[in-house]
Structure 1
């Protein structure tokens, strides 16, 4: 697994809490979303943290290593450049797919704008392993991958989460970023036992751990990163810490940021949980060692042919025992994902994503109610992110922004990034002569033109785009 990097207790760096993070006591390291910074123009706050010796780890969200396509070289290069600019000891990403469709499936490419689960099948594992090796070869520092939270489960899965991750590590040597909040989420939403997953994991591969809060609504746990860390998640952290001393533990918060004092309290609770479990395990080890000294195990009695036992002369036959030998270094044959496996995975992922974002029928075997919950969650997240990357839109549209965007999202899947989505949404409104208020419509037109450098499209272009959207929805 390579050298273990001791990180300590950290927090996710976000622009909204940059000053608070710099001032928080006891922060050993921070993690930053890689796509949110430019390697050539690091935020001043991160520069100051680095100058103080605080480790900064880039956390990617857009590679989609669990997707059917091979990793995009440009995305890999950008992630590598960010790692070098930050002097990071490693980079992290997710075991997830974030887009589907395209040439592999001869269908329009769709973007999820979210991390979606990979089916735990042999096909998906072969594809994932090959994609991971491609990424490892391209990146200048070690890679660690995170288990994700999921609202939905794939039908016909062949492995548990722990088995899937253990084989991924065995075949690629990749490190693991274990998110204990995600293990709790999958416990509530999919009935998966966090203790079983931890027992099946190769704990020596853990690079660090994520801790985050969420909320339960109607029996579904939403991994929001906008709520305090609940006791149930801390219990999973305690279970993990009882099995291994994690090299690092990080608190994630992405929305509805609390005061600096509340963040400090959460960090201290996390630190105390890890230290307490480590001390308990150290005490248990000491007790076992003392017991072994006082009550040494009886050494095996070696008796050969013709040997005599005390008080008698009866020969004792030789008993042959095969003792275990030191294992030789072993490298298993690593299957390469076939084009057929990639296409099968690509078709399955495209069908699922289309049902989630384009309103097509649910693929066979999926829980349609859960798909509806996931679909609404994706649309709500999409609206929230567009409001953040284009804050002028909710300012111009007021309270009408959210309902208008959700109506737009039901028939317009995202095919680019969030900034492209914001432009497409504005264009959609203008083509429908909205908003009704002339002054607001004029402001929206100016906003759209400033960013697109174009005039609103004519009738022919509108017809072509309408046909394209109809094709996506088929």
Structure 2
């Protein structure tokens, strides 16, 4: 990574947790166990009644906003009002980068209502490059994009997801948020080798990772954010830490919260230890 690369200026953040109000008190009491927090941007948009809560979080922790509604792959221009609200949250947190999903959430006149995978074509890539550049210019910081789960491959793609990511980061200097659980889930549901997938990805552009636990439903592995991280995901992370100097890890847990929040903090600590060992190897 060259010195002028905007990703090179991103500091090491450590291991953290997705901020969820259901465990707010436990998070407040665990400043020694959580290196940084990830907030869902949309929860702090709009009215100013959440400003105090956001300010309190930022006083205690380094905070990275993570959006779910940008629709970075949309062919239509991005919503200017939405982008201004994103910028406000980004500025208030002082985050070194902003993260979102490589996905569609809107098409003209329709809110899809979920994170839909992109069609990996030349026109889609051109639109995504245009949108990433606009967001980064507005925010004045790198955009870091996450791989999503998908129920089926969109047919007639002109390139693989890994090639799409590679060409996108080359054109924009954006980064990657690798959701290790999403990669595992996709590899199980669509029968491919996740290690081979990583070999094709521009892993040097991975800034942060996500970890979570899912569940089985009708023979499909679902990204539920509701269970402990699966052993296979830890194994995949162990491989990844030998490839790239990760800046941070976030454990996502949105449902089925354990009675003892320490179960979550133990997973945060495990990720921290693995990333620290990997950084020592990669930097040696």
Equivalent residue, structure 2, for 1:47: 55
Q: Secondary structure in 2 aligned to 1:243?
A: coil
Equivalent residue, structure 1, for 2:257: 257
Matched ranges for 1:308-347 at <5 A: none
Q: By how many angstroms is 1:22 displaced?
A: 1.6
**Contact 1:22 1:45 (8 Å CA) reproduced:** no
The reply to whether residue 70 of structure 1 matches residue 77 of structure 2 is yes
Higher strand share: 2
Answer 1 or 2: higher relative contact order, Cα 8 Å, separation at least 6. 2
Equivalent residue, structure 2, for 1:33: 40
**Contact 2:10 2:96 (8 Å CA) reproduced:** no
Q: By how many angstroms is 1:12 displaced?
A: 0.3
Aligned length: 275
Q: Secondary structure in 2 aligned to 1:226?
A: coil
Equivalent residue, structure 2, for 1:15: 21
Q: How far, CA to CA, are the matches of 1:64 and 1:184 in structure 2?
A: 23
Q: How far, CA to CA, are the matches of 1:42 and 1:260 in structure 2?
A: 24
Structure 1 residues 165, 153: closer, same or farther in 2, change over 3 A? Answer: same
Q: How far, CA to CA, are the matches of 2:13 and 2:278 in structure 1?
A: 18
Q: Which runs of 5+ in 2 are unaligned?
A: none
Q: By how many angstroms is 1:276 displaced?
A: 4.1
Q: By how many angstroms is 1:14 displaced?
A: 1.1
Q: By how many angstroms is 1:79 displaced?
A: 0.3
C-alpha offsets along residues 75-127 of structure 1, whole Å, 9 cap, x if unaligned?
11110000111222221111100122x3xxxxxx3222210100112121111
Matched ranges for 1:394-409 at <5 A: none
C-alpha offsets along residues 119-158 of structure 1, whole Å, 9 cap, x if unaligned?
1121211111111112222223321111111112101122
Q: Give TM-score, length-normalised by structure 1.
A: 0.55
Q: Secondary structure in 1 aligned to 2:152?
A: coil
Q: How far, CA to CA, are the matches of 2:174 and 2:89 in structure 1?
A: 19
**Contact 2:34 2:265 (8 Å CA) reproduced:** no
Q: Secondary structure in 1 aligned to 2:263?
A: helix
The reply to whether residue 81 of structure 1 matches residue 83 of structure 2 is no
Higher helix share: 1
Q: By how many angstroms is 1:239 displaced?
A: 1.3
**Contact 1:11 1:29 (8 Å CA) reproduced:** yes
Q: By how many angstroms is 1:44 displaced?
A: 4.8
| Aligned with 2:11 (options 5, 10, 16) | 5
Q: How far, CA to CA, are the matches of 2:227 and 2:49 in structure 1?
A: 31
**Contact 1:185 1:223 (8 Å CA) reproduced:** yes
Q: How far, CA to CA, are the matches of 1:140 and 1:45 in structure 2?
A: 24
Matched ranges for 1:44-193 at <5 A: 44=52, 46-52=54-60, 54-100=61-107, 102=108, 109-193=109-193
Q: By how many angstroms is 1:45 displaced?
A: 5.0
C-alpha offsets along residues 404-449 of structure 1, whole Å, 9 cap, x if unaligned?
xxxxxxxxxxxxxxxxxxxxxxxxxxxxxxxxxxxxxxxxxxxxxx
Q: How far, CA to CA, are the matches of 1:35 and 1:128 in structure 2?
A: 21
Q: How far, CA to CA, are the matches of 2:207 and 2:279 in structure 1?
A: 17
Q: How far, CA to CA, are the matches of 1:157 and 1:186 in structure 2?
A: 17
Q: Which runs of 5+ in 1 are unaligned?
A: 103-108, 287-474
Equivalent residue, structure 2, for 1:389: none
